[in-house]
Amino acid sequence: MLRGDRSGLMAAGVVCALVGFTSSFAVVVTGLRAVGASPAQAASGLVAACVLQGVVMIGMGLRYRMPIAFAWSTPGAAVLAGVGGDIGGWPAAVGAFAVCGVLIVATGFVPALAALIRRIPTRVAQAMLAGVLLPLCTAPVTALVHHPLSVAPVLVVWLVLSRFAPRWSVPSAFVVAAVVVGIDLIRPGRSIAVADLVPRLEFATPHLTLAAVTGVALPLVVATMAAQNIPGVAIMRAFGYAVPWRSSMAATGAATVVGSVVGVHALNLAAISAALAAGPDVHPDRSRRWVASVTAGWVYLVLGALSAAAATIVALAPDGVIQAVAGVALFGTLAAALAAAVGARPDGSAARPHETIAALAAFVTAASGATFLGVGAAFWALVVGIGIWVALRPRRVEGRVDAAAADEGGSADQ
């Protein structure tokens, strides 16, 4: 490989890791804090996630000579941020993370489980995710109203960069947020302890509760599969790569289980950032692009050493600042989830009435944030959405759909 080729591939890997980290780590910290993590425990989860996904990326890239990118589950972190009710505290959340990892491994080795997850209507799963994301994405508006001086610079920079350099809009918004934090620390009585900048792991003993398994683990698996793993496979296929499904699920699931005790919520195939390591802009020769993903893995190991400082900035930020960064970071994910929930079918036809009603029911249930029987809204959104989908789904009559299906313009879903 020519030196110029290698340097270009390595540069693509650096960009992949930096964009992946800076555009979503605030969402991860926010989600971990929402389910009971202390600032130190949230920082531990961030450190461990960086290191583990770096190791997985390096190992899989070298093993398969394929630019397979991995990431923490940003939609999953959003699910955590929307969890309501008492799930049993941080130990219960850690237990839910471990269950999530086990289920991810199982999807690779138990075809029936993978088929069961795939049978969850995509529109319902995406509507659940959109409902969870909605309160987080409205946070920038609320923050701007209550803290205009601190939040406005963040949003202005994000908007300007969204126009001229979209890839760097959220990372740049975080840089501005860090500047805001620095200015705030000048005030008397405000300071950063040097110990908080040093990466360290905070171990917790997992504890299983019904509320955490149903309200955290199951929605976390569904969001991760529907919004990360399955799209990640599709994106890689579009670039000409066949992702080794079983190995990928085994690696990310096992890493999630191992990392759960130190705060890792879920690792998965990268979807949005996959193009940064596997797209045609990286290198014209597909067989060489694996260098980019392996480089990204090494960069994540370095970022792991710096992530404690990033988490500390989040913890010290004035009210509204990080919420604004996390909100704009999720705009693209929210838009994609809404489009998948109520948009047109792959063949261009409109969604059928039962699909739209089920998706909207799941969306409003998740967005409500309500808890029932100690279980959070994300779980009930899936229950309500699937229940309505099944109840209203057109019936088949002697190999044909009934009149209602004919009025909807096609055959019933498989």
Amino acid of residue 113? L
Which position has the higher pLDDT, 189 or 390? 390
Q: Tell me, what's the pLDDT at 396?
A: 63
- CA atoms of 412 and 335, how far apart (whole Å): 27
Model confidence at 133, pLDDT cuts 50, 70, 90, reads: confident
Range of the domain at 155: 3-385
**For residue 409, how many other CB atoms are within 10 A of its CB?**
10
- Cα 75 to chain centroid distance, Å, stands at 3
Residue 254, domain member (yes or no): yes
Residue 406, domain member (yes or no): no
Residue 370, domain member (yes or no): yes
Mind listing the pLDDT tens digit for each residue in 247-305? 999 999 999 999 999 999 999 998 777 878 888 878 888 889 999 999 999 999 999 98
Q: Which of 283, 264, 267, 355 is nearest to 43 (CA)?
A: 264
Residue 400, domain member (yes or no): no
Q: Which residues of 12-21 are buried (b: 16+ CB within 10 A; e: fewer)?
A: bbbbbbbbbb
Residue 109, domain member (yes or no): yes
Mind listing the pLDDT tens digit for each residue in 339-351? 888 887 777 777 7
Pair 377, 131: CB distance under 8 Å: yes
Residue 216, domain member (yes or no): yes
Total structural domains in the chain? 1
Residue 394, domain member (yes or no): no
The per-residue pLDDT of the chain, averaged, comes to 85
Pair 267, 49: CB distance under 8 Å: yes
Residue 115, domain member (yes or no): yes
Q: Tell me, what's the pLDDT at 190?
A: 66
Amino acid of residue 101? G
